[in-house]
Each structure stands twice: as structure tokens, then as C-alpha cells.
């Protein structure tokens, strides 16, 4: 169980690190603007293989990093 927690922490630290983001840049302006869905959120969703709507997946993420309003509001 401890190995699994350590692996998850290592992945989380890698995703949030600026070095990891720099390795995966396409151009020098990649990941420079503040977005509703930053690099770490998008990468986490890809790893989890999103199966639900974007709003539901964001609500389930830990920590809650993004919020979405209903489209009809």
C-alpha cells in the first residue's frame, strides 16, 4: 500500500514541476498563460482516462482545482 502512495506522490510532484512541463513544451510560449485547465489538470485527466463529463471529472479531482458553471446559466 505504501508503494502505491509513494508512486502517486512522485507522479503528482512530477506533473506540477516546472522542469517536467519544460520537457513537454511544444514551443517557448507553451503553458505560459493562466488557463481554466492548466497543464497539471489536463495531464491528470489523461492519466485517469476520463470517462465522464469534464465538469464531473473536475469535481472528482483531488484537490479541487477547477470549477465549471452549468452551460445554461
pLDDT tens for 8-38 read 788 888 878 888 877 877 777 766 667 777 7
Assess if residue 43 is contained within a domain.
Answer: yes
Share of the chain above pLDDT 70, in %: 59
Cα 73 to Cα 9: distance, rounded to the nearest angstrom: 37
Assess if residue 71 is contained within a domain.
Answer: no
Q: What is the pLDDT of residue 63?
A: 52
Assess if residue 47 is contained within a domain.
Answer: yes
| Residues 62/44, Cβ–Cβ less than 8 Å | no
More confident residue, 66 or 41: 41
Assess if residue 73 is contained within a domain.
Answer: no
pLDDT band of residue 64 (cuts 50, 70, 90) is very low
Q: What is the pLDDT of residue 23?
A: 80
Number of domains in the chain: 1
Assess if residue 70 is contained within a domain.
Answer: no
| Residues 31/39, Cβ–Cβ less than 8 Å | yes
Cα 40 to Cα 23: distance, rounded to the nearest angstrom: 14
Q: Measured on CA atoms in the order 57, 4, 9, 20, is the torsion positive or negative?
A: negative
Amino acid at each position: 500500500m505504501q508503494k502505491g502512495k509513494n508512486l502517486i506522490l512522485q507522479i503528482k510532484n512530477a506533473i506540477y514541476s516546472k522542469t517536467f512541463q519544460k520537457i513537454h513544451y511544444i514551443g517557448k510560449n507553451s503553458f505560459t498563460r493562466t488557463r481554466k485547465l492548466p497543464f497539471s489538470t489536463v495531464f491528470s485527466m489523461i492519466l485517469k482516462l476520463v470517462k465522464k463529463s469534464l465538469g464531473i471529472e473536475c469535481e472528482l479531482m483531488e484537490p479541487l482545482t477547477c470549477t465549471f458553471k452549468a452551460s445554461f446559466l
